[in-house]
Chains A and B, each alone.
Chain A
Amino acid sequence: MAKVVIDPLTRIEGHLRIEVEVENGLVVEAHVIGTMYRGIEAMLRGRDPRDATYVTERVCGVCAGSHGWASSMALDKAFGANVPAGGRIIRNLIIGAMFLHDHPLHFYHLSALDYLDVMAVAQYQGKDPGLLAVKDKIVKLVVAGDTAPLTPRYKPDAFSVNDPELVTMAVAHYLKALEMQAKAKKMSALFAGKQPHQSSIVVGGVTMLPNIEVVEQFRSMLMEQLDFVEKTYLQDVLTFGTGPLLPLAQAGVGGGALNYMSYGGFARDNENKDLFFKAGLIMDGNLGNILPIDENKITEDVQYSWYKASANGKTPYTEDTVPDLDKQGAYTFVKAPRYDAKPIEVGPLARMLVMQPKGLMDIIAKNSIKPGAVARHAARAYETLLLVKDMFTWCDALEKEMGSKDFRVHDTDHWEAPVSGQGAGMTEVPRGSLGHFIKVADHKIENYQMVVPTTWNFSPRDDKGVRGPVEQALIGVPVPDLDNPVNIVRVVRSYDPCLACAIHLIHPVTNDIKKFQIGW
């Protein structure tokens, strides 16, 4: 048995260390380790509750906006604020644009280099002037002996794409996607002030009172995004996923926990009933039985995390958070959230399996794709297309609202902090299900907790020793060459980890645990 350590695991948000044990070319044991802690929730205690949207926004600058959004929802409830339709739609547009930023960026800039033999570009023999320019650029970098940041890298392996035409196209799209992610942030900033780290979303709604010109500028940029998502991003993912990467897809490498959850998100009405992302839960891979979510079944374990264990039976509203760096047996700053005592995968694959859009399900069935790294990329690209299309109707709805005499973006009557109150903001953000929980006492924050997507996916073992979803997904992953564990980073990155987000905590509530079963 050989131990392989990857630290830092790059091209993700935050600091991640992976330790696996390999036997006969396969991973037999895995630990995922978060190595940085800031303690933002604890710092919020005693502060003006309205600060929480601004401060938690800064938990992560990649899924920028996400935490401010979830925080505002928690505060809305605690303050008793009724967000007017204008505020709700503008919040949705701010975050929707950031999905258009996050997903292609994850595919091209954070993941693609794991699948491409970039140096195959030098062999491109075609005549396309755009691709020849890409070839020229890469060749000149090689000639100059300065190919950073494209090298060093893991060696291309049996799954790597080395067709010069395909690789050159992918590198051209890597560069195009760099431009498109900047434009998506610009779209978001039109309503948000700036991105990353918008300031517009506050308790009660938003601060930006838009005019028609801004909405139309957003809409025209949305058309450019649609064109890119439909004709480039999704096509590339499908070309790779059903082409050179099909064996990886069909083998279901990186399948993980077959339990999936989506809180639902992007309300299209003020009653929070018509959601773009549907809410639901899938247990043990049973796609035919979408279960409702009971937020009381969400708990967290800390036996393997560097935190002091507090008394059992506490809710996210009342628990506390104390680091314990010398704790025996602990190995990560990430906690172990469980739903009904089971590890759960959240994110685009979970959302799409809950939603089951026909187009995607047909692709999966036709190509016999199993849940795993490649399926995650496909689900992420497919939901981007669904989202970008739906966003046009959000622009329509906003303009309709703006035409009414009493158009409003903010609930001014509930701007001041209440004496007391509590609320949960639970929604879907690019990496999965995000929950913020606040308790207000004496006009101040008494307690604040976040349960974030990467905490679900990158959790350590729970108190019963059951691995977290990614730890489980790594078991059985082929590592034929110990010096080149590229399949491990492929699996890990397919979850789009965000460790700065993950290291936030709720405290343990231990329930009876059922035996974890894998089945599909």
Chain B
Amino acid sequence: MGNFDLLTVKGVTRRDFMKLVAATTAALGLPELFIPQAASALEQALKKPPVIWLEGMDCTGCTESAIATLNPSAAALIIDMLSIRYHETIMAGSGQSCEEAYQAALKEDFVLIVEGACPAKEDRYCMVGGKPFRKTLIEAAQKAQVIIAIGSCASEGAGIPGACATGAVGVAEILRNEGINKPVINLPCCPVKPTTLIGTLVYYLTYHKAPPLDSQNRPVAFYGTLLHDNCPRRGHFESGEFLTDWNDPVQKGYCLMLKGCKGPQTYTDCAQVWWNDNANFCINAGSPCAGCSEKSFYKEFSPLYVKQELFKLPGIGQVNADTVGAVIGGAAAIGLGAHLIATAASGRLSNKDHDHDHKEDM
């Protein structure tokens, strides 16, 4: 039996399979020429891997986002592509039968997907199946062939729960605390973007290794570019045109920096790959980027609708390179800071800026 026959037996038609491959190569930003190669590699590799999908201190938004995919379809994702053995929101079973399904999957060579943060100190803030979620997470992580943390809560910084008083942290930090030296692929954003998750899964299943990752262990393919550099509103930024009134048709499309946009500190492909089947993304809807793909989200990016910190960061003459580097991602920060300061110093920004902090920062 050939490998594709194996897939056919598992309920995947050739047509569905090629659609899946085409859509996912597109999601990965690979040229069409790659499709036959990916198809071939996938046929070799894709045997519907068993998946344990854990939910900790979460809102189910990442699951909801994953099944918001239209191309490939949600059914292709949860039935054709993966064998989802444990997922509290999707699985048929409840209670004891869940525990049995989980224990059975633990014995296989499974992919671990984690959604939600985990309390680092007080286990009682998140109990599932009568057990501390933290212990289940550690147990599954030690046995998984690969660990994928999805959404800001499970990634570095732990997103919104990370700003709360429960001591919530992401998956990698829980493992570090336990001295477990196992890499975690982080796919932050609030919630995870479906193209990012599916693209990462296809890459991993094709090559049996993680895609190239950055310093926060995010795949460079999806987190390698600065939002600000690809923003459709960048031209208005360059022209010093900043939105102050959402009602003004003239300002529609103006730069959202004065509304608190974190685009200059945020590495994400949101400007190129929009959400919900390419329907929209925050900035196109007139909303400032909240920086949800960064570990500084939400704690250090608050307040969200005030622009000040964008200009405090570079602060020529008082810059602490380590701090800047930690916050905005290494070498790129220097270029970014210089750019913003040059723009501000040339007066283009200050013409429309009424924030008092501004001049001090220049």
Contact = CB atoms under 8 A, between A and B. Distances in A.
A450 to B, nearest CB: 13
Nearest to B92: A153
Contact of A61 (B50, B59, B91, B124): B59
A255 to B, nearest CB: 22
Contact of B68 (A109, A182, A202, A500): A182
Name the interface size band of chain B: 35 or more
B252 interface: yes
Interface in B74-102: 74-75, 78-79, 83-85, 87-95, 97-98, 100-101
A81 interface: no
Interface in A418-448: none
The prevalent SS among residues of B at the interface is loop
Given A190-B280, A191-B285, A412-B246, A54 B68 contact: no
Contacts of A113: 92
B94 A151 contact: no
Interface string A130-154: 0000001110110110101111111
B282 A193 contact: yes
A350 B211 CA distance: 50
A128 B124 CA distance: 52
Contacts of A138: 11
A48 B277 contact: no
A179 interface: yes
A192 interface: yes
Interface string A451-487: 0000000000000000000000000000000000100
A195 B8 contact: no
Given A146-B48, A197-B190, A154 B75 contact: no
A182 B69 contact: yes
Contacts of A500: 58-60
A206 B85 CA distance: 41
A38 B164 contact: yes
29 contacts: A7-B95, A8-B129, A11-B92, A14-B60, A17-B130, A36-B57, A38-B57, A39-B164, A39-B165, A42-B164, A43-B164, A48-B303, A60-B61, A61-B62, A137-B79, A138-B11, A140-B9, A146-B10, A146-B48, A148-B50, A149-B85, A149-B87, A152-B92, A182-B70, A183-B70, A195-B275, A196-B68, A197-B61, A206-B286
B312 to A, nearest CB: 16
A152 B65 CA distance: 25
A182 B63 CA distance: 12
A238 B147 CA distance: 43
Given A10-B93, A144-B11, A196 B65 contact: yes
A40 B168 CA distance: 12
A154 B100 CA distance: 13
Given A10-B88, A141-B11, A194-B275, A152 B95 contact: no
B204 interface: no
B92 A48 contact: no
Interface of B: 8-11, 48, 50, 55-65, 67-70, 73-75, 78-79, 83-85, 87-95, 97-98, 100-101, 122, 124-130, 133, 159-161, 163-166, 168, 190-191, 244-247, 249, 252, 275-277, 279-287, 290, 298, 302-306
B61 A196 contact: yes
Contacts of B90: 11, 109, 149
Given A182-B277, A194-B281, A36 B125 contact: yes
Contacts of B285: 191-194, 198-200, 207-208
Given A64-B61, A153-B97, A202-B305, 20 more contacts: A7-B128, A11-B91, A36-B56, A36-B57, A36-B128, A38-B57, A38-B160, A54-B290, A60-B61, A84-B247, A140-B10, A152-B93, A153-B93, A193-B280, A197-B190, A199-B287, A207-B285, A408-B247, A410-B245, A485-B95
Contacts of B68: 181-182, 185-186, 195-196
Contacts of B73: 178-179, 182
B43 to A, nearest CB: 16
B189 to A, nearest CB: 9
Nearest to B127: A35
A452 B225 CA distance: 39
B233 to A, nearest CB: 13
B94 A154 contact: yes
Most buried by A among B91, B249, B298: B91
A94 to B, nearest CB: 10
A505 interface: no
Given A13-B60, A182-B70, A190-B280, A61 B191 contact: yes
A113 B276 CA distance: 27
A59 B275 CA distance: 20
A194 B279 CA distance: 8
Interface in A174-222: 175, 178-179, 181-183, 185-186, 188-200, 202, 205-209
A29 to B, nearest CB: 17
Contacts of A154: 93-94, 97
A37 interface: yes
Contacts of B55: 15
Contacts of A15: 55, 88, 126-128
Nearest to B251: A209
Nearest to A139: B11
Contact of A55 (B64, B160, B168, B249): B160
